Amino acid sequence: MPQWFGGREAGTAPGMAVTRIVVAEDDSSIRELLVHHLERDGFHCDQAADGPSALRLVRTGADALILDLGLPVVDGFDVLRALRREGRELPILVLTARSDEIDRVVGLEIGADDYVVKPFSPREVVARVKALGRRAGLTSIQAPVVLTFERLEIDEAAREARIDGVNVGLKPREFALLLELASNAGVALSRETLLERVWGYEFDGDHRTVDVHVRRLRSKIEDGAQLAPLLHTVHGFGYKFARG
């Protein structure tokens, strides 16, 4: 049984990672109804009421996404496109209020795995999510990622960075920033891009926020363990993760 399928029926052992599902739906009554049913089946849910929140939650690590197409600020289509463009392969179940064929086809063409038309029964949605999970498990899409750079390990599933096997104790945002940079090793990422991907579209701070977090990462990872510089400043632009 793949670990992905972490519902109670899969016999989830205490301490075993529970499947984390982002439920993105701006209608709070529908969202809460879905969350109620999913959590009763042993899934852990994070809730998003608009597109930027959905993106941010998925980027900080999720096993599946339930995505309403009619979301405010950034709609479901754009959320889907953005996630697939980033190469994220998590299963996505689309919710749509419009039953016309175009919505369905477009939704699937841009990378949804399945869809449900409103009104739906929560049981049906839970069943579809489980089916997607089983399929994902079979193809090992959700294999946990551990990036290794000599003595440094960046463990996406555990959300921790280790040096010589010891957790360096990063805060959640520091970890997300490190993961974003290391996942794009060798690629210079602008401060704008980092703010958008790590903090989310709605973040109201300025670019110095990125600088402050990079400084903290350097002191926790490079200085403390005397590692060669990994986080390189790209002057007038942003940062790049690279060895040596």
User: Which residues of this chain interact with Ca ion, rule CB under 5 A?
Assistant: 26, 68, 70
Whole-number minimum distance, CB 96 to Ca ion, in Å? Answer: 9
CA–CA distance, 42 with 157 (Å, rounded to integer): 18
Whole-number minimum distance, CB 1 to Ca ion, in Å? Answer: 34
Sign of the alpha-carbon dihedral angle for 158, 164, 165, 168:
negative
Whole-number minimum distance, CB 54 to Ca ion, in Å? Answer: 12
CA–CA distance, 34 with 140 (Å, rounded to integer): 26
Return the number of the residue (54 or 176) whose C-beta is nearest Ca ion: 54
Q: What one-character DSSP code corresponds to residue 154?
A: E
Residue whose tokens read 């689309």 = 94
Return the number of the residue (68 or 174) whose C-beta is nearest Ca ion: 68
CA–CA distance, 111 with 90 (Å, rounded to integer): 10
The answer to whether 152 touches 230, Cβ cutoff 8 Å, is yes
Helix (H) or strand (E) holding 189: strand 188-190
Q: What one-character DSSP code corresponds to residue 156?
A: T
Return the number of the residue (68 or 196) whose C-beta is nearest Ca ion: 68
Return the number of the residue (58 or 94) whose C-beta is nearest Ca ion: 94
Whole-number minimum distance, CB 125 to Ca ion, in Å? Answer: 15
The answer to whether 110 touches 84, Cβ cutoff 8 Å, is yes
Return the number of the residue (74 or 242) whose C-beta is nearest Ca ion: 74
Whole-number minimum distance, CB 68 to Ca ion, in Å? Answer: 4
CA–CA distance, 4 with 93 (Å, rounded to integer): 16
The answer to whether 232 touches 241, Cβ cutoff 8 Å, is yes
Q: How many CB atoms neighbour CB 236 within 10 A? A: 6
Whole-number minimum distance, CB 13 to Ca ion, in Å? Answer: 37
Q: How many Å is the Cα radius of gyration of the chain?
A: 19
Return the number of the residue (97 or 166) whose C-beta is nearest Ca ion: 97
Whole-number minimum distance, CB 26 to Ca ion, in Å? Answer: 5
Return the number of the residue (3 or 96) whose C-beta is nearest Ca ion: 96
SS3 46: strand
